[in-house]
Amino acid sequence: MIPKDHPRYESLMLRAKIVDAYKKGILADSGMIAHGRGEAFDYLIGEKTTETARKAERAGAAALLLAENPVISVNGNTTALAAELVVELAETLGAKIEINLFYRTASRVEKVEETLKDAGARRVLGIEDEEKGIIDGLEGPRARASLEGVYSADVVLVPLEDGDRAEALVANGKTVVTVDLNPLSRTAKTSSITIVDNVVRALPNIIQEVAEFKNYSDDDLKMILENFNNDQNLEESLKIVSRTYIGDA
């Protein structure tokens, strides 16, 4: 039991969720290492949403609203930390939810699906007995994507993705919106819109932006996208990380 007045309460609660999900077989063992890396970068950006991340979240929300077939791709870590938020965003957007695991096993797919359904998801794609298409440039089970989901999606939100998958999705003509605390990761560098923020803060922000932008015209949304430059935004995030690191934040 973590006392509420502990100075690292929020961070420790997230750790507890990660450990619990591992024990339940939702999280890959490497998922704990990935979380630790994320924690380190979160520490360096001050464990809060930066103005820079907020700009990327607005651009991500605009891209998702402009999409014809938006899909939220979900892995073990995102399910462990934010299953309810994924469902809420999918409902707000009218987007599909698809399971895509790096360390894919039938048992984990089943548990992730169950967790998402418990969180309110009406339908979850990417499950075992479903017709799949192949994403060019990827090998093995990771290349297989739901025909009505990621395979045919124009915009995919991929929180905490691994580098080659983000790269392959972009190469297959998709707009990839990612959430990754590490601005130096391959995912961060290859995605169309990179949100350098913790998934537990980014998703509520995107939900809020989507609700705010719902009545915007397509032209207004396109303008938000045109005014966003991912390379520049990543540079700004990197500066924030370095400033914090040398104690000049």
- Using CB under 6 A as the binding rule, the residues of this chain from 154 to 173 that contact ligand PTJ are 160, 162
When the beta carbons of 65 and 81 are compared against ligand PTJ, the nearer one is 81
Nearer to ligand PTJ, 109 or 210 (CB): 109
Residue 191 within binding range of ligand PTJ, rule CB under 6 A: no
Q: Does residue 35 bind ligand PTJ (CB under 6 A)?
A: yes
Q: Strands 70-74 and 193-195: what pairing? A: unpaired
Place of tokens 């700004």: 236
CA distance 70 to 23: 32
Q: For the sheet with 193-195, list strands across it.
A: 96-99, 70-74, 155-159, 175-179, 193-195
Nearest to 106 by CA among 127, 75, 122: 127
- Which residues in 65-94 contact ligand PTJ (CB under 6 A)? 75-77, 81
Using CB under 6 A as the binding rule, whether residue 179 contacts ligand PTJ is answered as: yes
CA angle, corner 116, sides to 100 and 140, nearest 5? Answer: 15
Residue 185 binding ligand PTJ, by CB under 6 A: yes
Among 65, 86, 90, 102, binds ligand PTJ (CB under 6 A): 102
Nearest to 233 by CA among 21, 60, 78: 60
The answer to whether residues 56 and 228 touch, using CB atoms and an 8 Å cutoff, is yes
Question: Does 48 sit near ligand PTJ (CB under 6 A)?
Answer: no
Q: Which residue is nearest to ligand PTJ (CB)?
A: 38
Report residue 212 as tokens.
């705010």
Region from 45-53, 58-66, 98-106, 150-158 binding ligand PTJ, contact rule CB under 6 A: 98-106
- Told to check if 149 binds ligand PTJ by CB under 6 A, we report no
Per CB under 6 A, residues contacting ligand PTJ are 28, 30-31, 34-35, 37-38, 41, 75-77, 81, 101-103, 160, 162, 179-182, 185, 198-199
